[in-house]
């Protein structure tokens, strides 16, 4: 395998390992929020923010941990047939099916970027152009001018009404990391088919 591909695989897997190990500890934040929710409902006035905060933490836990789970091979598979196959057959099937996964994640990423742009007040049809322009303004004219570019910020329809752009940004970031990990897995499978274990 060419050196740039090997470097890419190592770099992406190190990044996803670091983020995945961080995401594992979000379960403790989730437990803390749900514990406070139970205590406040029992002894005090119920907190309005606990259920939605728990949902946001669970999204981050799941989305940021997904690429690490894929890297570790702990994602769910249909092992009825797969478990008995040779490593070469598994590599062929994985290389074929990961292309469909990458297509699905590409569509999901586009939807996540569009939804994030909408949550920042952009109602047009070119979300990537919106973010490109926003980043350009941020670095050339400063955060105040970039803030003026933003429109009506989307909020949840619950009583607490948190802004939705932070959790949607995490969704974009997590799906992008999953796409990068899928590409690394495809390169790894191609290496196995060529007889090189990476």
Is 47 a domain residue? yes
- The tens digit of pLDDT for each residue in 70-125 reads 999 887 777 778 878 888 898 999 999 999 999 999 999 999 999 999 999 888 88
**Distance between CA atoms of residues 78 and 30, nearest Å:** 30
Structure confidence by residue, pLDDT tens digits, 36-61: 999 998 898 888 899 999 999 999 99
In a domain, 11, yes or no: yes
Residue 198 lies in a domain: no
Q: Which domain holds residue 69?
A: 3-75+85-193
Total structural domains within the chain:
1
Q: Let me know if residue 8 belongs to a domain.
A: yes
Which tens digit of pLDDT belongs to each residue from 125-176? 899 999 999 899 989 998 888 888 888 889 998 888 999 999 999 999 999 9
Residue 32: inside a domain: yes
139 is a domain residue = yes
Residue 120 lies in a domain: yes
pTM score over 0.95:
no
């Amino acid at each position: 395998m060419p050196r740039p591909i090997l470097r890419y695989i190592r770099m992406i897997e190190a990044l996803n390992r670091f983020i995945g190990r961080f995401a594992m500890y979000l379960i403790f934040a989730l437990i803390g929020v749900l514990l406070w929710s139970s205590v406040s409902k029992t002894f005090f006035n119920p907190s309005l923010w606990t259920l939605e905060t728990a949902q946001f933490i669970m999204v981050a836990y799941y989305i940021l941990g997904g690429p690490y789970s894929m890297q570790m091979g702990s994602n769910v598979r249909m092992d009825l047939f797969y478990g008995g196959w040779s490593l070469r057959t598994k590599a062929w099937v994985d290389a074929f099916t990961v292309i469909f996964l990458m297509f699905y994640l590409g569509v999901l990423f586009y939807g996540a970027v569009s939804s994030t742009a909408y949550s920042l007040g952009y109602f047009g049809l070119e979300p990537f152009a919106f973010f490109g322009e926003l980043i350009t303004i941020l670095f050339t004219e400063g955060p105040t001018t970039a803030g003026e570019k933003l429109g009506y910020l989307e909020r949840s329809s619950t009583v607490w009404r948190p802004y939705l752009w932070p959790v949607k940004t995490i969704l974009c970031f997590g799906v992008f990391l999953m796409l990068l990990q899928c590409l690394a897995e495809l390169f790894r499978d191609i290496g196995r088919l060529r007889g090189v274990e990476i």
